[in-house]
Each structure stands twice: as C-alpha cells, then as structure tokens.
C-alpha cells in the first residue's frame, strides 16, 4: 500500500496531466459536434480492433468445438450427397447409406500394404468393411474395430481392389495400387472400345459393396493400350492426399449383407 | 513570495485578456492569429512546481476556450506544452543547465533561448491546430496554420523576450 502511495506521489504530475487532459477531451467531445463525430469514429476503430483481437483469441480456443460442429454438419451433407449421386430411378429408401464422421490419427503411405487408424470404434458404430472417404475422394475400407478405435486398409494397399469407372462413359474397371507413388493408382480392365482422354474423372462404380456409385477417386494422368489391344492401362492421379491425416467419413452400406448373400 | 504570486497572477490574467481581446481578433490574411499567451510558460518559474503549472495551464486554457468558443483546444494545447516544458528546456538549453527562475536569467545564449521559445511555439501550435482540425486528411492545413501563426507568435514573443533581456 505504501509502495502504491509512493508510486502515485512519484508520478502525480503525469497523473494530474492525464486527468486534466481527459477533462479537456470530455469538454471537446461534449461541446463540439464535429469533434464528437471524429472521437466516436476513433472510439469505434479502437473498440473494433480490441473486439476483433478478443474474438480472434476466443475463436482460437473454440476451434475444436467449431470443427466438431462443422464435421457433424459435413457428415449430414455427405449423407445427402450420397443419395443425390445415385441414379434417379433407384428407390431412395434402398439407398439409405449411413455416414459416420471420424478422424485419421495415423496413416502410412510408404509400405506395400498401408493401413489407417481412425479415432472412432465399435461404440461409435464402426464395423469392418465400411467404406472410408474424405471430402476429396475415397480413402480406404475399415478392417477391424475395437471399442474406441478402428483400423482400415488404405487405398494404397496392394491387396485392395476397388470397382471404378470413367465418369463420362461409365466404362468400369478395377482400381488398384501398384505400390509405387502415394498419389498414383492403376485402373485396368477398361475396354478399348471406350474413348478416354487425360484429365477424365474416375469415380466409384456401382458394383462395389463398400462405396456408393459416383464417389470421386481421381483423374486420368496417363494411359496406354495393353499389348492385347483389348484393354487400357490407366494411371490415375488420386484426389485425396494420403500423406496427411484429417477428417474422413465412414460409409455403411445397409444392403451389403444381402448383396453378398447372392454371391 | 506572496508578491511574486500576485504579480504572476496579474501577468497571466493580462496575457489571457490580451489574447482574448486583441490577438484572437487579428485574423491576418483572414486566418492567421498569433497566440502569445503562451508567454505565461516563460513567466512561470522554471524551477516551480509542475503541478501548479498544470493547473494554471488548465484554467487559463479553459477560460480561453469558453470565451473563444474553441471547445477545449486551448486547454489541451496549453496542458501538453506545460507538461513538456521542463524536458524541452533541458533539450534546448542543455542537460546540465541550471534551473534559473526565468529563462532570460538562466545565462543561456540567445540562440538557446530562441530554440526553447521556438520549441514551445511549435508544440503548442501543432497541438492546438491538430485538435482544431482533428483529422489526418487535414494534415497540410494543420502544418500551414502552425507555420503561419507560429511565425506571427514567434515575432511577438521574441521581441518581448528581447525586452526582458534588456531590462534585466
């Protein structure tokens, strides 16, 4: 207390100056309309900046909450998008894909058989053989699920084959990873009677049990005709970046068991 | 001591009245008015209490603002100039300058005294016109007014200073 009094006494002139100056500015503000307008503009600029800084800090701390909200919203939208991507003649009730949101917490991309670990498990409704996709394209297929976590085969897995097609011609083939670059896959079994050009979009075909039709995968990077002259061999540049982790969506096909029972 | 205070009171009142009655009505070229009332900052003892000076500046400025309808500009300008007077004195006369009662009794060279006077005028006028215009876009006008009125004020105050020097 004594120190505070000492400090006040030491800086009394500065404090008196500040007080008298403030009174002068109040006088200025009250007596002159012009100065009142100018001062209110300065006040607005000042308070605007302070509130902006305050909001920035607050926003930073609520990022996780906002992210969760956004991913939940995205999950719902993805579910609706999946319905819209299906051919119109299909009865809607049959295409009721379930979508769950998850986050890739570990992903390998430099091995022959790459795996993913997701932060959602059996308790969240994850079951084996659910399709995994991101907002850019398909990512893989779930393999096992424990209570809170699940693992999956990445699309960059040598043993995984996905039914895919050229978006503009609907010509379908088999997509697999040759084990080379993490952003390139091969699409085979597309008959040469179909026209193809570099940049064509590759989407999921309708014959996969894991994914609904028309989910983006990548685009044609290069193609060649096999020596038999009957099929193309297409290099597909993937849309999803497998070297990063992030939010993904798990797709459950409710008709999968029924379809598999026919095989 | 009491005689000095009464004398200072009369001098300051005289300066304020002169400003109010004569100098604020000159309107040279339609816009130039000198503000020689800041001479009160030279009349007040250099080794005097800053607190007292601040209050004198505040009430003198307030009186001028009320009478000249300047809404606080004189008060702010006079307060700012009073607050920096001591630092300006050390800056212009020298850090080792002895605090004399008045600047013309300090033994400082005429050039140093002139620098001190010019410093006071610039700070006062710049603050005054900044408050009057109160806008970044009016910066050229602020500078023109500071320069023109400042020159006028300087001429009056410098002659007064010379007069005090001669009478010393």
Q: Is the CB of residue B76 less than 8 Å from the CB of residue B127? A: yes
By C-alpha distance, which of A229, A137, A152 is closest to A191? A229
DSSP output for A43-94: HHHHHHHHHHHHHHHHHHHTHHHHHHHHHHHHHHHHHHHHHHHS-TTS-GGG
Q: Does A34 touch chain B (CB under 8 A)?
A: yes
How far B151 CA sits from the closest chain A CA (Å)?
A: 26
Residue A225 main-chain phi, psi, to 5 deg: -100, 130
Summarize pLDDT for B39-75 with one digit per residue, the tens.
Answer: 999 888 888 889 999 999 999 999 888 888 888 899 9
Segments of chain B scoring below 70 in pLDDT: 95-100, 168
Query: With contacts defined as CB-CB under 8 Å, which chain B residues touch A17?
Result: 54, 79, 83
Domains in chain A: ranges and CATH: 2-61 (no CATH), 63-262 (2.40.10.340)
- How would you classify the pairing of strands A184-191 and A201-204? unpaired
Neighbours of B70 (CB within 10 A): 21
CA separation for the pair A12, A9 (Å, rounded): 5
Judge whether A37 is closer than 8 Å to chain B, CB to CB.
Answer: no
Torsions phi, psi of A248, nearest 5? -135, 170
Nearest 10 degrees: CA dihedral of B119, B120, B121, B127?
A: 100
pLDDT of residue A110: 82
Judging by beta carbons within 10 Å of its beta carbon (0-12, 13-18, 19+), is residue A53 exposed, middle or buried? exposed
Q: What is the mean pLDDT of chain B?
A: 87
Tokens of A28: 């200025």
Task: Quote the ipTM score.
Answer: 0.84
Residues of chain A contacting B72 with CB distance shorter than 8 Å: 24-25, 27-28, 31-32, 35
Q: Between A and B, how many CB-CB pairs are < 8 A?
A: 49
The per-residue pLDDT for A88 is 59
User: What distance, in Å, lies between the first and last C-alpha atoms of chain B?
Assistant: 19
pLDDT score, position A92? 43
How close does chain A come to B156, measured CA to CA in Å? 27
pLDDT tens, N- to C-terminus, chain A (263 residues) = 788 888 888 888 899 999 999 998 888 888 777 887 777 777 767 766 777 787 778 778 888 887 887 888 788 787 778 777 766 555 444 556 788 888 888 888 888 888 888 888 889 899 888 999 888 888 999 988 888 888 888 999 888 889 999 988 889 999 999 888 888 999 998 988 988 999 999 999 878 778 888 888 999 999 999 888 889 999 999 988 888 767 888 988 877 777 777 76
Residue B131: closest C-alpha in chain A? A35
Query: Residue holding tokens 């030491």?
Result: A10
Residues of A in contact with B134 (CB under 8 A): 34-35, 38
- pLDDT value, residue B168: 65
- Name the residue among B14, B1, B97, B133 with its Cα closest to residue B63: B14
Q: Report the C-alpha gap between B47 and A136 in whole angstroms.
A: 77
User: Measured between CA atoms, how close is A7 to chain B, in angstroms?
Assistant: 16
Query: Do B72 and A16 lie within an 8 Å CB cutoff?
Result: no
Q: Which residue ranges make up each domain of chain B? A: 2-167
């Amino acid at each position: 207390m004594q120190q505070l009094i000492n400090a006040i006494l030491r800086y009394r002139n500065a404090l008196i100056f500040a007080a008298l100056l403030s009174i002068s500015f109040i006088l200025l503000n009250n007596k002159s309309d012009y100065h009142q307008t100018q001062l209110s503009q300065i006040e607005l600029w000042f308070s605007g900046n302070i509130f902006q800084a305050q909001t920035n800090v607050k926003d930073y701390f609520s990022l996780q909450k906002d992210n969760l909200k956004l991913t939940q919203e995205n999950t719902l939208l993805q579910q609706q998008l999946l319905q819209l991507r299906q051919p119109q003649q299909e009865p809607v009730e049959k295409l009721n894909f379930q979508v769950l949101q998850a986050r890739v917490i570990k992903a390998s991309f430099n091995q022959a058989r790459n795996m993913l670990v997701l932060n959602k498990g059996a308790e969240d409704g994850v079951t084996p053989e659910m399709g995994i996709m991101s907002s850019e394209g398909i990512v893989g297929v779930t393999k096992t699920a424990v209570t809170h976590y699940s693992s999956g085969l990445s699309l960059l897995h040598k043993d995984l084959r996905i039914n895919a097609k050229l978006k503009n011609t609907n010509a379908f083939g088999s997509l697999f990873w040759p084990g080379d670059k993490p952003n390139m896959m091969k699409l085979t079994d597309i008959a040469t009677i179909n026209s193809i050009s570099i940049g064509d979009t590759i989407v999921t075909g309708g014959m996969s049990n894991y994914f609904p039709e028309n989910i983006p995968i990548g685009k044609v990077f290069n193609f060649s005709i096999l020596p038999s002259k009957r099929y193309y061999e297409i290099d597909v540049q993937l849309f999803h970046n497998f070297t990063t982790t992030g939010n993904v969506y798990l797709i459950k096909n409710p008709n999968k068991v029924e379809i598999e029972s026919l095989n | 001591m009491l005689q000095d205070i009464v004398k200072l009171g009369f001098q300051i009142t005289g300066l304020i009245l002169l400003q109010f009655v004569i100098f604020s009505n000159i309107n040279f070229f339609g816009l130039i008015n000198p503000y020689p009332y800041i001479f009160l900052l030279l009349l007040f003892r250099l080794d005097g209490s800053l607190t007292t000076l601040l209050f004198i500046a505040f009430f003198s400025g307030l009186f001028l603002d009320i009478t000249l309808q300047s809404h606080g500009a004189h008060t702010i300008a006079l307060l700012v100039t009073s607050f920096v007077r001591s630092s300006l004195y050390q800056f212009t006369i020298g850090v080792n300058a002895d605090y004399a009662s008045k600047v013309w009794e300090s033994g400082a060279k005429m050039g140093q005294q002139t620098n001190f006077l010019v410093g006071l005028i610039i700070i006062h006028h710049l603050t005054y016109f900044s408050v009057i215009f109160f806008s970044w876009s009016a910066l050229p006008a602020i500078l023109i007014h500071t320069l023109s009125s400042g020159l006028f004020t300087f001429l009056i105050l410098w002659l007064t200073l010379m007069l005090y020097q001669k009478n010393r």
